[in-house]
């Protein structure tokens, strides 16, 4: 028997993907599995119960085709600006808010680049699986001076090719262009 939280979160992910495809058309879906220690897994479960699971980011390009990336404090790799959704916040709203908070810039959302379907597993064998969705929107730079958010982001920069160290594989394999 599948646990209610597993069914509920899987259904939410499927419904969100269908809604996003209805609004933006087709996009890639990437399946990922994350395993968590009990404390971290408990926080995932709490967010699931609050219906605030998921997150969003923006693959932001400027007029030259360069991509804006951020490097979190404590991380070596670069990634697209993004983060967790707040309760009652849409993925689109979360993406724009996170971009503004992390990098100090605004964007025009132009579509969905890809979604990551996350299967959260606990290291405790009896804990049920929780599903989650991270939406990476395509966006165009609309203003603001890029700057790192104190206490969270170590650096912000425009890239015309992938940096040598990335936060996750897709950042290295996406399309880059132009110069900054």
**DSSP symbol at 129:** P
Q: What is the pLDDT of residues 35-60, one digit of tens each?
A: 999 999 999 999 888 888 899 999 99
Helix residue ranges per DSSP H, 91-162: 91-103
First to last CA, the chain: 53
Identify the three-state secondary structure at position 137: strand
Mean pLDDT for all residues in the chain? 94
The pTM of the full predicted model, rounded to 2 decimals, is 0.92
Phi, then psi, of 66 in degrees rounded to 5: -70, 155
User: Is residue 3 over pLDDT 80?
Assistant: no
Identify the three-state secondary structure at position 66: coil
Question: With bands split at pLDDT 50, 70 and 90, how would you rate the model's confidence at 180?
Answer: very low
> Which residues lie closer than 8 Å to 23 by C-beta, 6 or more apart?
none
- Euclidean distance between CA atoms 122 and 5, whole angstroms: 13
- Euclidean distance between CA atoms 130 and 161, whole angstroms: 35
Q: What is the pLDDT of residues 98-128, one digit of tens each?
A: 999 999 999 999 999 999 999 999 999 999 9
* pLDDT confidence of residue 128: 95
List of domains in the chain:
4-173 (3.90.79.10)
């Amino acid at each position: 028997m599948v646990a209610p939280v597993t069914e509920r979160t899987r259904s939410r992910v499927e419904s969100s993907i269908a809604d996003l495809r209805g609004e933006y058309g087709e996009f890639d879906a990437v399946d990922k599995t994350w395993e968590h220690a009990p404390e971290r897994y408990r926080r995932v479960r709490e967010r699931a119960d609050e219906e605030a699971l998921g997150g969003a980011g923006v693959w932001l390009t400027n007029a030259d085709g360069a991509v804006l990336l951020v490097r979190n404090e404590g991380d070596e790799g670069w990634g697209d600006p993004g983060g967790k959704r707040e309760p009652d916040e849409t993925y689109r709203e979360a993406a724009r808010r996170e971009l503004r908070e992390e990098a100090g810039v605004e964007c025009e959302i132009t579509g969905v680049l890809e979604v990551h379907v996350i299967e959260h597993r606990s290291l405790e064998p009896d804990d049920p699986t929780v599903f989650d969705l991270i939406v990476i929107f395509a966006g165009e730079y609309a203003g603001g001076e890029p700057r790192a958010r104190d206490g969270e982001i170590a650096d912000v920069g425009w890239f015309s090719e992938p940096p040598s160290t990335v936060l996750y594989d897709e950042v290295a394999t996406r399309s880059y262009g132009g110069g900054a």
